[in-house]
Amino acid sequence: MSQPQISYEFFPPHTKAGITKLVETAQVLAATDPAYFSVTYGAGGSTRTRTYETVVKLME
């Protein structure tokens, strides 16, 4: 039987401080060896730009 995998989904933050906090949180969660992180598009009125910026920051 294969092992279950986990992943994490983030909502794009509304502020630069929120992006900083999200990146810090992702670094902590990375210790759990997730299969992937995803960023929700269009959640809570977010825009494509904020989603893209969030993905870029997570990949850095």
Q: Taking every pair of C-alpha atoms in the chain, what is the biggest distance, in angstroms? A: 43
Residue 55 and residue 39 in contact, taking contact as beta carbons nearer than 8 Å:
yes
CA dist 22 and 28 (Å) reads 10
Active-site positions read 9
